């Protein structure tokens, strides 16, 4: 199966598997602030995914200020009208880094997707804006997005609900809280439906830092990469919903902190390992 080209952007992406350290060493958040300019960083927090946005705004404002960011501002986006408003668009011109909190990825795509804020985010990212997202904020980074799934301990057809993400990282399909919530089968089921996408399962307190065609893993856990480019067989389309699913010929890589991966050629970069 031909490999899908991964678009190259000027800005970094920091894609976090959720439950990142906000009080200790803060390795992931510290790296985000550094990439956004360190002591010159201007951080915009977007908590549209959350049911308790003010609470999360306060937690992340405190963390980013403690890590040395010059300015931190929580963007008030609760409706599509807000996301189409002048304040939201102007904030993207001011910010050097944007952070999406966790919650519901569908809330992000429903309230931000296709708005002026969405357009401004993509334009500024191409100009160098650093974009980070945790949990739901990570899931929405891809073009094809996992929305949810039926509880199951086995690999079954039709249990994963997919939708459209905001597409900051095309060519991949992201799942989060990966090891902690046992989501290997969920991601395999999603990739069986979209074998041209590269699956990224990101553990909690773990992130991939993406620049161009390469990412590096940071944090306390691992990232599981699922490559179905060599898929030889699946019975998807032949079995009924909730029947057992066959997936053959899939490659899996498990990468802890410090490992790098070439998204274009779909290979780990092992020089010096």
86 catalytic per annotation:
no
Helix (H, G, I), strand (E, B) or coil at 235: coil
Helices (runs of H) and strands (runs of E) counted in the chain:
8, 17
Q: Which two tokens stand for residue 201?
A: 């399962």
Distance, in Å, from the CA atom of 147 to the CA atom of 176, rounded to the nearest integer, reads 11
The string of DSSP letters for 167-189 reads -SSTTEEEEESTTTTT-HHHHHH
H helices of the chain, in order, are: 27-35, 53-66, 80-83, 86-94, 105-112, 116-126, 136-139, 184-193
Given 9, 12, 125, 177, the catalytic residue:
177
216 catalytic per annotation:
no
Q: Which two tokens stand for residue 235?
A: 């019975």
Given 31, 197, 204, 216, the catalytic residue:
204
What are 214's strand-pairing partners?
A: 211, 262
Q: What angle do CA 222, 170, 166 make, to 5 degrees?
A: 100
Distance, in Å, from the CA atom of 16 to the CA atom of 79, rounded to the nearest integer, reads 25
Q: Which two tokens stand for residue 75?
A: 């963007």
Sign of the C-alpha dihedral, residues 42, 216, 203, 242?
positive
Residue 237's Cβ-side half-sphere holds a number of Cα atoms within 13 Å equal to: 6
135 catalytic per annotation:
yes
**Is 224 within 8 Å of 252 (Cβ atoms)?**
yes
- The residues assigned a catalytic role are 135, 177, 204
């Amino acid at each position: 199966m031909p490999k899908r080209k991964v678009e190259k952007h000027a800005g970094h992406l920091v894609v976090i598997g959720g439950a990142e350290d906000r009080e200790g060493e803060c390795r992931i958040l510290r790296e985000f602030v550094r990439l956004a300019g360190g002591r010159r960083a201007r951080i915009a927090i977007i908590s549209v995914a959350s049911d308790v946005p003010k609470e999360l705004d306060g937690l992340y404002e405190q963390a980013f200020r403690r890590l040395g960011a010059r300015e931190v501002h929580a963007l008030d986006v609760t409706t599509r009208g807000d996301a189409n408003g002048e304040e939201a668009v102007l904030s993207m011109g001011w910010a050097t880094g944007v952070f999406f909190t966790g919650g519901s990825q569908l809330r992000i795509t429903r309230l931000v997707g296709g708005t002026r804020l969405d357009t401004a985010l993509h334009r500024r990212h191409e100009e160098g804006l650093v974009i980070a997202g945790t949990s739901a904020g990570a899931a929405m980074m891809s073009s094809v997005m996992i929305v949810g799934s039926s509880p199951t301990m086995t690999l079954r057809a039709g249990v994963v609900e997919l939708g459209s993400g905001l597409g900051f990282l095309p060519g991949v399909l992201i799942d989060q809280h990966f090891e902690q919530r046992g989501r290997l089968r969920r991601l395999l089921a999603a990739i069986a439906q979209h074998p041209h996408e590269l699956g990224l399962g990101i553990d909690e307190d773990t992130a991939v830092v993406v620049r161009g065609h390469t990412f590096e893993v940071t944090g306390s856990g691992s990232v599981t990469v699922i490559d179905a480019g060599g898929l030889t067989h699946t019975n998807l389309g032949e079995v009924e919903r909730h029947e057992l699913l066959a997936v053959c010929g899939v490659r899996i890589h498990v990468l802890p902190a410090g490992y790098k991966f070439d998204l274009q050629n779909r290979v780990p970069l092992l020089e010096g390992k």
